[in-house]
Amino acid sequence: MNTKLFQKDFITTQDWSVEDLNTMLDVAYRLKADFATGVPHDHILRAKTLYMLFFEESTRTRNSFETGMTQLGGHAVYLTPKATQIGHGENAKDTGIVLSSYGHGIAIRDCRTNIGQKYLYEMAKWADAPIFSMQDDVDHPCQAMADLMTLTELFGRNLRGAKFVISWTYAPKYVRPLSVPQSLIMLMPRFGMDVTLAYPEGYQLMPHIMDIARKNAEETGVKFEVVHDMDAAFEGADFLYPKSWGPIMVTEEEAEVEAMAAQHKDWRVTTERMKLAKKHAVYMHCMPIDRGHEADDEVIDGPQSIIYKQAENRLHVQKALMALTMAGRA
């Protein structure tokens, strides 16, 4: 266990060692148990402040971070570009230096393509406080860690040899970023899982993220494969994570996005398709789910679904992250 994580940024899981990530899981388990049994831990971040800067709206992300800060004894401040001078052109350097002189952490959600993660790293360069990604255009590290925590709770810490599938699914209009599938293909091989990425033509991920995923799989001695057939991906799977993302490597023009997606309405999770996986297989999703398009209600609300456990664990993983990186500063 590496407990020397004070003021360490968490912009991508790649910047943390497996030992560091396991420490986060260990602390998350402890805080979750305390929460369940009514053991208070509001002394950990008492009188500490987290600034939460949202370039996009959220449900789970804002509420899990804000609630987590309250439970740890601190305070979270909700910010948007329009509610700050960022909307008038203030840069990451000036914002980061000033906010970090007031508080103890800065969390940012910025999914602007080719901008978001670069903005986080630029702020991290200048801020005297840890920077957390609440999702950007490249990675969604807190979601991926909550997903990992959920799997380890249900199947144990040794997940080596399990088949993890992240598959594209059809959803109309909304162009979801690439960060969730990219976060999963980078993280899950590091914890021993064989990863299958499935998508139709035009929905490829960022090349440098694919390189990282292949390298992680090679270093861990597991499989990483890409297929373009949803049924083939589901066959023999242990963990199924079907979700939509946009054809961002091709286009973000709304009309073109809708036209491309409409060609693949059959990329949808049904009870019959779930039967291709192993009997103990679980259905996962980061939410929000485009019900009736990405998956049928019978799957989303069925016995194999663990989506609400994933959402719940966002709270505990993020509390562990904040406790480890923010608690040491007076």
Provide CB contacts within 8 A for 319, sequence distance 6+: 28, 31, 68, 71, 72
Residues 120-139 pLDDT 10s: 999 999 999 999 999 999 99
Residues 132 and 298: their CA atoms lie apart, in Å, by 36
Per-residue pLDDT of the chain (330 residues), as tens digits, is 888 999 999 999 999 999 999 999 999 999 999 999 999 999 999 999 999 999 999 999 999 999 999 999 999 999 999 999 999 999 999 999 999 999 999 999 999 999 999 999 999 999 999 999 999 999 999 999 999 999 999 999 999 999 999 999 999 877 899 999 999 999 999 999 999 999 999 999 999 999 999 999 999 999 999 999 999 999 999 999 999 999 999 999 989 999 999 999 999 999 999 999 999 999 999 999 999 999 999 999 999 999 999 999 999 999 999 999 999 744
Please, what is the Cα angle at 147 between 182 and 264, to 5 degrees? 50
Its sign, for the CA torsion 290, 295, 298, 302, is negative
- Give the pLDDT confidence score for residue 101 in this predicted structure: 98
- Residue 87: DSSP 8-state: G
Q: Please provide the DSSP assignment of 153-208 as one string.
A: HHH-S--TT-EEEEEE---SS----SHHHHHHHHHGGGGT-EEEEE--TT----HH
List Cα–Cα distances, 153 to 62, 157, 310, in angstroms. 24, 8, 11
* Residues 113-124: b if buried by 16+ CB within 10 A, e if exposed: beebbebbbbbb
- Give the pLDDT confidence score for residue 3 in this predicted structure: 86
At 252 the three-state DSSP class reads: coil
Residue 117 near residue 293 (C-beta atoms within 8 A): no
Residues 172 and 303: their CA atoms lie apart, in Å, by 26
- Give the pLDDT confidence score for residue 330 in this predicted structure: 45
Strands 105-110 and 49-54: parallel
**Token pair listed for 198:** 């499935």
Give all domains of the chain, ordered by start, each with its CATH number: 13-140+314-326 (3.40.50.1370), 142-310 (3.40.50.1370)
- Give the pLDDT confidence score for residue 173 in this predicted structure: 73
Element (H, E) at 210: helix 207-220
172: amino acid identity, one letter: P
Q: Which residues pair with 269 in a beta bridge?
A: 295
- Give the pLDDT confidence score for residue 320 in this predicted structure: 98
